[in-house]
Amino acid sequence: MWITDNTSFKGEAVQTIKNTYPKLLNKLSNNTLENLAQSSNLLLFPNDISESGDLDKDAMIVKTYNGTIQFQNVIGFIGYGQERLNIHSRFSTEGMGDNFLHYMLKRVLNINVTNLETDTSNKLELYDLLRYIFPSYLNAALKKGVLRQYQRFEYNDANIKGTIDIARHIKQNTPFTGKVAYSTREYTGDNNVMELIRHTIEYIQSSSRNGNQILNSSDEVRHNVAAVIRSTPSYSIGKRQKVIIKNQLTPVRHAFYTEYRDLQRLCLMILRHQKNNLGDGDDQTIHGIIFDVAWLWEEYLNTLMKDKGIQHPHNRADNRTELDKKNPFYIFKSDTESSKGRRLVYPDFFSTEGKFVLDGKYKKGLDNDGDNKDSKGGLQRNDLNQMITYMYIQKYRSASVIYPATTKGQGETLIGVLNGYGAKIFKYGLMIPQNIADFASFESAMKKSEAAFGNYINKRYND
């Protein structure tokens, strides 16, 4: 059954889903992302929910109510026992892969490749995505420094500095040659977790034609890959299965190293692919990976506008420092005088020079021009109020909501002119090509859509 994000099912379709995923649906229905992330082997991308604009700790993958099953703003793969659920982008086509997801990941993660290795097989396609997001998880973990743990090492030399292993000494040093067999317990970076990361790096590099590009996608990635290699001098490809088993048995649990726990899960998913095809076993925990597609959409839009003098605050994560929280809008004049009790708002994108503000929305229904008491041009009341607030505070001339669209809803639409000083609210549908199986052709079509969007941004500057 082909399931896409932001889609509701009723009637017979509900029963089909229940029959296909009885156990998995029971685990996911009305269960929060926070709970799933803590109690399962489910990876979230981005790996900090607070980074997301549209998801929070109480967000869900699946909601069930009044005989309806509704899938939310996430896409990806989820497994439980023998049940496998793939949630695709609503802009993908059955049998043609998820080009839109691949393309956004390529732009957002700066994957320097000419052709993503897509495949019509859902599992192979997902496996490609796991490798592409590896650098992001690696960078997040290495921000905490190289993970160090106590590890036991065995030696056989003349520099005795630990506990003598009598049985091993007799076996290896008879007749006596001046060496002594002993073992030590050392606090080191050459441990099971770092070895797992090293094995994943070597596997990505050797198993894919894009491996070198993935591991060299930025200076930060190259630096962190080098740090892992330096920290694991005892690496041996022959120990891979042993390292995998040890990491399965001893997951990272310390709260300070949450990023390493997520990276450990991702490495296990990548390295176990050959053996069990991303969890084709009978393990009774929820596993897989899901993407916050709204976050991806916003970050993708940033790649299109960052060279056009448009600001993107990046304000959402709870652990942002004040230095990271740039360019806020102050609601009250007194807020600019003291940091105590400030009332700040952060738009997605804005241009002080052009006097306009932009908001990225992945929500479904923005191509609807219908009007009712809770919406205008497909924009819900809260979204409209948000845009009006931004414009009023800064006295901007216009605001635009940017959303992905098919042939229906593409281009600019004027939602209305505000009472007062006459600011305008627009929406703009960035055309997502449909029914294209070949990724290179899809990418070429997206370039045309992006060129049209670039012209629209120039228009907003000139109006």
Residue 124 binned pLDDT confidence (cut-offs 50, 70, 90)? low
Provide the token pair at 324.
């990271």
Residue 276 has pLDDT above 50, yes or no: no
Q: For the chain, which residues make up each domain, given as ranges? A: 3-146+190-294, 149-188, 306-312+348-462
The answer, yes or no, to whether residue 319 has pLDDT greater than 60, is no
Nearest to 363 by CA among 402, 406, 315, 305: 402
For residue 270, give Cα distances in angstroms to 127, 320, 380.
7, 30, 40
Structure tokens belonging to residue 316: 């959402």
Position 59 scores a pLDDT of: 79
124 compared with 69, residue with greater pLDDT: 69
Beta strand pairing call for 180-188 and 149-157: antiparallel
Q: Mean pLDDT throughout 286-309?
A: 89
Q: Which range (50-54, 130-134, 171-175) has the least confidence? A: 50-54
| 1 SS3 class | coil
CA neighbours within 13 Å on the CB side: how many for 56?
Answer: 3
Task: Find the radius of gyration of the CA atoms of the chain.
Answer: 26
Q: Are 364 and 392 spatial neighbours (Cβ–Cβ below 8 Å)?
A: no
Give the C-alpha distances (Å, rounded to integers) separating 441 from 114, 130, 445.
Answer: 12, 23, 6
- Measured on CA atoms in the order 43, 41, 3, 445, is the torsion positive or negative? positive
Angle between helices 258-271 and 240-249 (to 10 degrees): 130
Res 427: pLDDT? 93
Question: What confidence category does residue 51 fall into, taking pLDDT thresholds of 50, 70 and 90?
Answer: low
C-beta neighbour count of 409 within 10 angstroms: 20
pLDDT of residue 255: 85
Say if strands 74-80 and 68-71 run parallel, antiparallel, or are unpaired: unpaired
Cβ contact 399:390 at 8 Å: yes
Tell how strand 411-417 and strand 424-431 pair up. antiparallel
pLDDT at 345: 80
pLDDT tens-digit profile of 3-40? Answer: 989 889 998 999 999 999 999 988 888 888 878 877 67
Which is more confidently placed, 327 or 81? 81
% of the chain at pLDDT higher than 90: 33
Q: Above 90 in pLDDT, residue 192?
A: yes
Of 318, 319, 312, the C-alpha closest to 298 is: 312
CA–CA separation, 224 vs 243, rounded Å? 20
> Looking at the predicted structure, is the pLDDT value of residue 280 above 80?
no
- Using the predicted structure, report yes or no on whether residue 315 has a pLDDT greater than 50: yes
> Quick check: helix, strand or coil at residue 203?
helix
Predicted local confidence at residue 277, as pLDDT: 46
Instruction: Say which residue the tokens 């001046």 belong to.
Output: 178
- The pLDDT of residue 204 is 92
CA dist., res. 184 & res. 154, Å (int): 7
Distances (CA, A) of 266 to 44, 91, 309, 358: 10, 26, 36, 34
pLDDT for 308 beyond 80: yes
Residue 300: predicted pLDDT: 95
Of 45-59, 337-351, 412-426, the range with the lowest mean pLDDT is 45-59
The 10s digit of each residue's pLDDT in 338-381 is: 555 567 788 899 987 878 999 999 988 887 655 555 567 778 88
- pLDDT band at residue 403 using 50, 70 and 90 as cut-offs: very high
d(CA 261, CA 251): 7
Q: Using the predicted structure, report yes or no on whether residue 117 has a pLDDT greater than 60.
A: no
What one-letter code names the amino acid at 8?
S
Higher pLDDT, 323 or 97: 97
**Candidate from 6-15, 58-67, 247-256, 353-362 with smallest mean pLDDT:** 58-67
For residue 352 the two structure tokens come to 């002080």
pLDDT of residue 55: 58
The two tokens of residue 248 are: 């399965």
**Does residue 49 have a pLDDT over 70?**
no
Assign 76 a pLDDT band (cuts: 50, 70, 90).
Answer: confident
d(C-alpha 456, C-alpha 403), whole Å: 13
Checking if the pLDDT of 232 tops 80, the result is yes
What average pLDDT does the structure give for the chain?
A: 83
User: Where do the H-state alpha helices sit in 286-426?
Assistant: 293-305, 381-394
Yes or no: say if 74 and 43 are a contact pair by the CB < 8 Å rule: no
Report how far apart, in Å, the C-alpha atoms of 306 and of each of 80, 152, 295, 397, 437 are: 41, 49, 16, 21, 30
| Residue 362 in tokens | 């992945």
- What would the two tokens of residue 223 be? 């630096």
Tell me if residue 148 falls in helix, strand or coil.
coil
pLDDT of residue 282: 47
Which of 48 and 192 is assigned the larger pLDDT?
192
pLDDT of amino acid 337 = 58
Q: Rounded to an integer, what distance in angstroms lies between the CA atom of residue 230 and that of residue 233?
A: 6
Predicted local distance difference test score (pLDDT) of residue 123: 52
